[in-house]
């Protein structure tokens, strides 16, 4: 079975690999679901794995099948599966349980284990293949009305988790009604965050470097979100103009922006971090001021990465709501299709060079 894989630890080793056909019986207790892969999104994680920055092969293999943003259709189910049936469109979650107490209660994304298991990322094969089998516990049904945008569900779960964590943490206030929100970055995650915050009725300002954002600016305008170029107006100056933000969702991948974002958080506000930054960059920050304002202003900061089933299910609901409120908006994020697994080199090329790309994705079947 044709698959796109890398040799972990070897830079730029992406290649076509032959993977054995999956079997329903590989999942115990009759809970297997056989899924035909239709689309798979790719992002910076896939690029970093191919650069050998992280990732490990499953036991018994010297290669790792990549791709964690899967979307497919159930072909067959085991005798004890009731959540989905053949023909249903589905997305599989990515993180799998380890051994910590958090894994045991279904919050795999909060594990304290040093070794983690993620499909297409670490110790488990991903979805850039023709078919896969997984346990029904990790399969989320997607309505047929969302089949054209279902490949966006996995990245949307990062946003869902971040916003949910903000609201959960703010239960400390007994009541929290955020009105102004900022999103740092206008990539896929940034645009999805802007959408999710608008669905919750907030006034949203999106910050990014470019002056002319083309399609991205149009998309933000259509959901009544404001766009600010940081080349023209700094984050702190914009915050002075429109007011500090009750919720800031940081999605730039630039650590320096994190510290500037801290200065834009309102009293009792939340800064949600979704960037995974590597390297050893050093920046100067007004540390005393940040510390003072966070302490006296009862501010907090949380991180979001991965997601458990809860956020996949809430993501489906928000995708459906977005389609009702802004018909066709989400499908316009799918800017750069790659036809077939054979064209994996094109996918990596687009990730590197297509500056106008919002979402690069494979049309697998």
CB of 205 closer than 8 Å to CB of 178: no
* pLDDT higher than 90, residue 301: yes
Read off the pLDDT of each residue in 230-237 and give the average, rounded to a whole number: 93
Q: Find the Cα–Cα–Cα–Cα dihedral 313, 319, 322, 323, rounded to 10°.
A: -130
**Whether residue 278 has pLDDT greater than 70:** no
**Separation of alpha carbons 18 and 4, rounded Å:** 9
Q: CA-CA distance, 204 to 238, in Å (whole number)?
A: 12
pLDDT of residue 308: 94
Integer angstrom CA distances of residue 185 from 22, 146, 206, 361 = 39, 26, 7, 20
Domains annotated on the chain, with CATH? 2-149+334-363 (3.90.180.10), 157-303 (3.40.50.720)
Rounded CA-CA distance 213/199 in Å is 22
**Cβ-Cβ contacts under 8 Å for 287 (sequence gap 6 or more):** none
Residue 120: pLDDT above 90?
yes
Average pLDDT over every residue of 148-169: 97
Tokens standing for residue 132: 């896969």
Q: What is the pTM of this model?
A: 0.95
Q: ∠ CA(176), CA(179), CA(181), 5° rounding? A: 110
The mean pLDDT of 209-230, rounded to a whole number, is 94
pLDDT in the model for residue 184: 97
pLDDT at 76: 98
What integer is the mean pLDDT of 170-182? Answer: 95
Q: What is the DSSP secondary-structure string of 260-273?
A: HHHTTEEEEEEEEE
The pLDDT value recorded for residue 217 is: 94
Structure tokens at 141: 């049904």
CA distance 117 to 321: 31
Mean pLDDT of the chain: 95
The mean pLDDT of 235-260, rounded to a whole number, is 93
- Please, where are the H alpha helices in 52-152? 101-104
Q: How far apart are CA 76 and CA 31, in angstroms?
A: 11
Instruction: Give the CA angle between residues 189, 182, 110 to the nearest 5°.
Output: 50
How confident is residue 81, by pLDDT bands cut at 50, 70 and 90?
very high
């Amino acid at each position: 079975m044709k698959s796109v894989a890398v040799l972990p630890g070897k830079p730029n080793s992406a290649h076509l690999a032959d993977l054995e056909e999956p079997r329903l019986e590989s999942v115990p207790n009759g809970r297997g679901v056989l899924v035909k892969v239709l689309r798979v999104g790719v992002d910076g994680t896939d690029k970093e794995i191919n650069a050998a920055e992280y990732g490990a092969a499953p036991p018994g293999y010297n290669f790792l099948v990549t791709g964690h943003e899967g979307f497919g259709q159930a072909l067959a189910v085991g005798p004890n599966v009731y959540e989905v049936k053949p023909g249903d469109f589905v997305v599989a979650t990515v993180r799998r349980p380890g051994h910590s107490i958090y894994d045991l209660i279904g919050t795999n994304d909060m594990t304290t284990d040093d070794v983690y298991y993620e499909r297409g990322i670490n110790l488990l094969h991903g979805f850039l293949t023709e078919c896969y089998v997984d346990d029904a516990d990790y399969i989320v049904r997607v309505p047929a009305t969302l089949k054209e945008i279902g490949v966006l569900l996995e990245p949307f779960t990062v946003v869902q988790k971040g916003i949910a964590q903000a609201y959960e943490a703010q239960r400390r206030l007994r009541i929290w009604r955020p009105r102004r929100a900022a999103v740092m970055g206008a990539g896929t995650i940034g645009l999805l965050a802007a959408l999710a915050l608008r669905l919750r009725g907030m006034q949203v300002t999106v910050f990014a470097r470019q002056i002319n954002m083309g399609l991205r600016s149009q998309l933000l305008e259509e959901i009544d979100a404001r766009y600010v170029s940081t080349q023209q107006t700094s984050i702190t100056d914009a915050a002075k103009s429109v007011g500090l933000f009750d919720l800031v969702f940081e999605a730039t991948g630039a650590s320096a922006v994190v510290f500037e974002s801290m200065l834009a958080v309102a009293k009792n506000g939340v800064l949600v971090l979704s960037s995974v930054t590597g390297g050893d960059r050093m920046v100067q920050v007004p540390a005393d001021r940040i510390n003072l304002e966070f302490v006296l202003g009862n501010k907090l900061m949380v991180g979001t990465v991965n997601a458990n089933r809860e956020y996949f299910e809430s993501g489906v609901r928000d995708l459906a709501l977005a389609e009702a409120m802004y018909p066709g908006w989400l499908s316009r994020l799918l800017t750069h299709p790659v036809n077939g697994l054979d064209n994996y080199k094109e996918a990596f090329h687009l990730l590197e060079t297509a500056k106008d790309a919002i979402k690069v994705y494979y049309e697998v079947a």
